A and B are shown apart, each in its own frame.
Chain A
Amino acid sequence: AQSVSQHNHHVILSEAASLELGCNYSYGGTVNLFWYVQYPGQHLQLLLKYFSGDPLVKGIKGFEAEFIKSKFSFNLRKPSVQWSDTAEYFCAVKEGTYKYIFGTGTRLKVLA
Chain B
Amino acid sequence: SQELEQSPQSLIVQEGKNLTINCTSSKTLYGLYWYKQKYGEGLIFLMMLQKGGEEKSHEKITAKLDEKKQQSSLHITASQPSHAGIYLCGADRNAGNNRKLIWGLGTSLAVNP
A binds B: no
